[in-house]
Amino acid sequence: MKIAIVDYGAGNLPSVERALAKLGADTERAVDPEQLWSAKAIVLPGVGHFGAFVEGLRERDLTSSLRAAFDLGKPILGICLGLQAMFAASEEAPGEPGLEFFPEEVRALPTDVKSPHIGWNRLRRMCKSKLLRGIPDDAYFYFAHSYAAPASAQFTVAACDHGFPFAAVIERDHLAAVQFHPEKSGETGAQVLRNFVESVQ
Amino acid sequence: MMLARRIIPCLDVDAGRVVKGIEFEGLRDMGNPADLAARYNCEGADELVMLDISATFEGRATFLETIRRVAEQLNIPLTAGGGIRTMEDGRAVLRAGADKVTVNTAAVKRPELLSELAQQFGAQAVVLSIDVKRKGNSWEPYTRGGRDATGMDATEWAAESVSRGAGEILLTSIDRDGTCSGFDCELTAKIASTVAVPVIASGGASTFEDFRAVFTDGRADAALAASIFHTATHSIGALKKFLAERGVPVRLSR
């Protein structure tokens, strides 16, 4: 069985695809719900605007399938905007519902720090993490975002600070999400993806 | 927790080859883009910038293919641009594998392009490139690879571009470019204190000390250089070690 990479019509899909292929993972681009059903795991990558993202999912009839896959316990990895889409809502697109795996709202980074938060930053580990296994505590990860979920969100296992403490890694049973870009975070990022791929073998 | 200061090698590409000019004129062949990209990725570069400086249509046509070949070598972010005029140009560059697109001349002519790109791809994917020459106590942006004066003020243009959606500013001192006389720290500090987005300093890098100065006095978030890395005068690893020993936060490779 393959790992389905959700293709919602924009975003950084090729780089995620390439990074997974380098690890020997068998992937396919998922554009319809059928492919999500038959996949052994789902990767939800994303860059850009929260509103366009959730709309893109809805147009392709992927929203309800992702919710169903979540309910059935299929492993899902969200990346960057893919993490944000797992929340109930975002200040970036008021009134647009997210996937609602988590009840909190994604917030804009405050104006007293440089935004977007672009560059390499470190994490603050809060509890044991499957995704971060084998990665040193002081490792850097590449971030590029203007919105973030508060670190107080349930199931946050590692946080980062930029304006406010935000959720950098979230893990809940079969669900995992990262605010940074593992596909752009050098060897450290590759290890995160490797940990995910191995966990769904 | 604090963002690491970024070290960014730049590939100026003409018809599929990396070249390096001196003060925007006179080009020398510096090698194959994919080979250099692979080397920088491995040496600990934090990001790569690739600019199309082709003068010919044929040269431009190969640029997207070059982006594809370079992106395949990288597990760090890639910024690409040079001659981006429209939203479709930007989309093509991102589709080819770049994470961010950089614009200059077209944004001066039509600043709305910045908002359009930011709305479509997010501000984090839009880098405004400003090439400036010092003019008394201020700096004037130039377009078309340093050829045309705009009559604008760099500080005002930087602020306007951010309000329109630029997520980063790539700031090049034409006076310093290729001269190895150090970054213009005064310029960088001025722009970095004006705008609330990261500023990438460019132009004039020669010694490790130049980088330390632009990260401290110049308040730069990232520093870009080309020739000193291409010729292997300096390795990125040694540069980062130098900076770390002097208290500049950098990402050291494993």
Report the pLDDT value the prediction gives residue B177, as an integer from 0 to 100. Answer: 87
Asked if A155 contacts B41 with a C-beta cutoff of 8 angstroms, the reply is no
A29 inside 8 A of chain B by CB:
no
Tell me if B211 is assigned to some domain.
yes
List, edge to edge, every strand of the sheet that includes A102-108. A87-90, A102-108, A147-148
Active site residue B131: yes
Specify whether the CB–CB gap between B203 and B172 falls below 8 A: yes
What CATH number does residue B122 fall under? 3.20.20.70
Considering only residues A10 and A166, tell me which one the structure prediction assigns the higher pLDDT: A166
Q: Which of A189, A176, A177 is nearest to A141 (CA)?
A: A189
Given a contact cutoff of 8 angstroms between Cβ atoms, the answer to whether A103 and A88 are in contact is yes
Residue among A79, A75, A70, A74 nearest A99 (CA): A70
Dist CA B19 CA B32 (whole Å): 9
Neighbours of B151 (CB within 10 A): 7
pTM (2 d.p.): 0.94
- What pLDDT score does B25 carry? 55
**Closest residue in chain A to residue B197, using alpha carbons only:** A114
User: Model confidence over A105-163: pLDDT tens digits?
Assistant: 999 999 999 999 999 999 999 999 999 999 999 999 999 999 999 999 999 999 999 99
Contact B136/A at CB under 8 A:
no
> Do the Cβ atoms of A142 and A120 come closer than 8 Å?
yes
Q: Please name the residue of chain B whose CA is at the shortest distance from the CA of residue A141.
A: B251
- B142 is a domain residue: yes
Does the bond joining B77 to the residue before it have cis omega, within 30 degrees of 0?
no
Residue B208 lies in a domain: yes
Handedness of CA B135, B139, B145, B148 (dihedral sign): negative
Residue A195 confidence class, pLDDT cut points 50, 70, 90 = very high
Q: Does residue B1 sit within a domain?
A: no
Among B124, B199, B250, B252, pick the best mutation site for testing chain A contact (most A Cβ within 10 A): B124
Peptide bond into A116 cis (omega under 30): yes
Strand partners, B168: B127
Domain residue spans in chain A?
3-199
pLDDT at position A44 is: 96
Chain A residues with beta carbon closer than 8 angstroms to that of B123: 116, 146
Place of tokens 């390096």: B20
- Chain A CB contacts of B7 below 8 Å: none
Looking at the partner chain, which of B75, B120, B125 has a beta carbon nearest the beta carbon of A189?
B75
pLDDT for residue A201: 84
* Residue A21 near residue A59, CB atoms below 8 Å: no
Residues of chain B neighbouring A119 (CB-CB closer than 8 A): 3-4, 6, 46, 198, 221-222
Of A122, A187, A188, the CB nearest to B1: A122
Q: What is the pLDDT of residue B24?
A: 54
Quote the number of domains for chain B.
1
pLDDT grade for A91, boundaries at 50, 70 and 90 = very high
Polymer length in residues for chain B: 254
B184 is catalytic: no
What pLDDT does residue A10 have? 63
- In this complex, do A116 and B124 lie within 8 Å of one another by their Cβ atoms? yes
Contact A119 B71 (CB under 8 A): no
Contacts of B170 (CB under 8 A, 6+ apart): B49, B79, B102, B127, B128, B129, B130, B200, B202, B224
In a domain, B95, yes or no: yes
For residue B1, the model assigns a pLDDT of 67
User: Is residue B18 in a domain?
Assistant: yes
In a domain, B166, yes or no: yes
- Give the separation between CA B45 and CA B39, rounded to whole angstroms: 9
Longest CA–CA span in chain B (Å) reads 47
Which is it for strands A140-145 and B17-22: parallel, antiparallel or unpaired?
unpaired
State residue B226's pLDDT score: 87
Contact of B15 with B62, CB cutoff 8 Å: yes
Which residue type occupies B207?
Answer: T
Topology of domain A3-199, CATH: Rossmann fold (3.40.50)
Is B252 within a domain? no
For the record, the structure tokens of B193 come out as 């204190």
CB contact under 8 A, B77 and A184: yes
Interface check for B197 against chain A (CB to CB < 8 A): the answer is yes
Summarised one tens digit per residue, pLDDT across range A10-59 is 667 888 999 999 999 999 999 999 999 999 999 999 888 899 899 999 99
Provide the angle, in degrees to the nearest 10, between the axes of the packed helices B112-121 and B87-95: 40
pLDDT of residue B220: 98
Q: Which residues of chain B have pLDDT under 70?
A: 1, 21-27, 55, 254
Range of B41's domain? 6-245
Beta bridge partners of B10: B49
Angle at B121 between CA B140 and CA A185, to 5 degrees: 95
